[in-house]
Amino acid sequence: MRLLATKSFSCNDELYKVVDLLNKTLKEYNLMFGLSKNTDGQTMTLSIYEV
């Protein structure tokens, strides 16, 4: 997998739903999305990968 981009956002429970939608919708384009909570507990990072 190749990391294409990352972006940090304020914590929001709805971001998981967005990532799930992106993974289901863009799977055929060999893209994968990940979401992780940062150690500060206040932000989350969205990562985009090419599979």
Q: What is the pTM of this model?
A: 0.88
How many Å separate Cα 8 from the centre of its chain? 10
Each residue's pLDDT tens digit, 19-34: 999 999 999 999 999 9
Average pLDDT, the chain: 95
Query: Residue 2 and residue 48: Cα distance in Å, rounded?
Result: 9
- Written as six digits, the tokens of 15 are 């971001």
Question: In the chain, what are the domain boundaries?
Answer: 2-50
